[in-house]
Amino acid sequence: MKYILLFLLIPLGCFAKAQHPNTLSAHYINGQAQGTTYSIKYYAAEQISKQSIDSILMEIDNSMSIYKQNSKISSFNHPKTRKVKMDQHMKAVIDASFKTYGLTDGYFDITVMPLVNLWGFGTKEYINNPTEEAIKKTKSVVGMKYLSVKKDYLIKKKKGVSIDVNGIAQGYTVDILGDYLNSKDINNYIIELGGEIITKGTKPGGDFIVEIQSPTALNYKIKLKDKAITTSGSYEKRRLVEGNYVSHHIDPKTGSPIESTTLSVTVIANSAFVADALDNYLMFLSPKKAVQFVEDKTDVEVYIVYVENNKLKELQSSGFNNYIYK
C-alpha cells in the first residue's frame, strides 16, 4: 500500500540555472486515476492541458488496470485466454517485472494475484482466511515460470495463471508523465500519483520538499532534485484475525501473508519505476538485510520503520541522510 508524500514549499536557497522556475509561471494539474489521485506542479512559460495528462493515464489504464474489464491485462487474466498482444506500456512493465523477479529471488512476482484474491486483498471481497488446501491449490498457478514473452505477445504456460502489476505500474505511470513533461521542454516539476513521486529540477527557492508519513511520530522532510521517492507499508492495509495482524503483502513462495517486523519502507531512486518495485520487495526482508541489499545498489537509498521488542525503530541506508531537510 502506498502512502501520500506531502508537498511542502520550504525555501532552500537559490540554484543558478538556465530557465530557472523563478522566471517561469507555476502551473497545477490535479485529478483522479488508477483508483487514486494525482497531482502535478510544474514551472513553464506555457501550460499543458489536463486533457493531455488524462489521455496518457487512460491509455495506461486501458492497458494494465485489473479493474477495467476490457483492459489488456484483464483480457489476459480471462480463464479462456492463452495469450495477448501487448502494447508499449504493458510490454515495458512486463519486461521490467521479469528483471525484477530475478533481482529479488522471485519475491517480486506479478502472478501472485490469485493468492492476493484468495486472502481477500484483491478484487474479491474478504470472507474468511483460506484453508491450507486452498492455498496449496492456488499456489499451483503462481510463478513467473508460467509466463513467457514471444515478440509482442505475453503467453500463459498454464491454465489459471493471472497477473497484477500494481506493485510497479504506478511508478511506471509517474515516470511516463515525467517523460511527457520532458518532451514539452518542462524542466522543473514534481509529479505525484497515489503516493509515488518523481521530481525534476527545482522550484523557486530550491529543491522540492516532500514529507514521509510514517507510523512513527517523526515525519521526515525530504529534499529531492531529479529523484523519485515511493513508500510501501503494512501498518494501514492489514486485517486483525484471531489476535494477529494479516498483511496484504503475500509471499508467493508460502502462499500466505508475510510475517515481518517491518512496517514501512521508503525508497529513493532515479526513477519511480525502480523505487516502486524495490519498496515492495524490501518489505519481505529483515530491516538489516534490506539495507544491505540497497547498499550494494547505485543511486538507491532506503528508510525503514520496524518493530523490535514492542518498540518502533528506524534504520536507513548510508546515503539517506543526505536527503533529509534540516
Residue 95 lies in a domain: yes
Looking at the structure, do residues 158 and 263 belong to the same domain, yes or no? no
Looking at the structure, do residues 213 and 239 belong to the same domain, yes or no? yes
Residue 1 lies in a domain: no
Q: What is the pLDDT of residue 219?
A: 73
Looking at the structure, do residues 70 and 41 belong to the same domain, yes or no? no
Looking at the structure, do residues 78 and 16 belong to the same domain, yes or no? no
Q: DSSP letters along 46-57, please?
A: SPPPHHHHHHHH
Residue 266 lies in a domain: yes
Looking at the structure, do residues 192 and 268 belong to the same domain, yes or no? yes
Looking at the structure, do residues 204 and 274 belong to the same domain, yes or no? yes
Integer Cα distance of 75 and 65 in angstroms: 10
Q: What is the pLDDT of residue 16?
A: 34
**Residue 51 buriedness (CB in 10 A; 0-12 / 13-18 / 19+):** exposed
Q: What is the pLDDT of residue 209?
A: 94
What CATH number has the domain bearing residue 280?
3.10.520.10
Looking at the structure, do residues 138 and 114 belong to the same domain, yes or no? yes
pTM higher than 0.75, yes or no? yes
Which residues sit opposite 221 in a β-bridge?
Answer: 211
Looking at the structure, do residues 31 and 176 belong to the same domain, yes or no? yes
Integer Cα distance of 255 and 142 in angstroms: 9
Take residue 88 and report the three cell numbers written for it.
508499449
Looking at the structure, do residues 50 and 188 belong to the same domain, yes or no? yes
**Tally of structural domains, the chain:** 2
Q: Are strands 147-150 and 189-193 parallel, antiparallel or unpaired?
A: unpaired
Looking at the structure, do residues 33 and 129 belong to the same domain, yes or no? no
Q: What is the pLDDT of residue 293?
A: 96
Looking at the structure, do residues 229 and 261 belong to the same domain, yes or no? yes
Integer Cα distance of 253 and 272 in angstroms: 26
Query: Of 57, 13, 19, 52, nearest to 38 (Cα)?
Result: 57
End residue of a domain, out of 166, 195, 215: 166
Q: What is the pLDDT of residue 259?
A: 79
Residue numbers in the chain where pLDDT is lower than 70: 1-19, 213-218, 234-247
Determine the distance from the C-alpha atom of residue 198 to the mean position of all C-alpha atoms in its chain, rounded to a whole number.
12
- Whose cell is 501550460? That residue is 47
Looking at the structure, do residues 298 and 204 belong to the same domain, yes or no? yes
End residue of a domain, out of 124, 149, 166: 166
Helices 287-295/272-282 angle, 10° precision: 150
Residue 154 lies in a domain: yes
What is the extent of the structural domain holding 32? 6-58+170-323
Q: What is the pLDDT of residue 184?
A: 97
Integer Cα distance of 306 and 140 in angstroms: 32
End residue of a domain, out of 150, 166, 182: 166
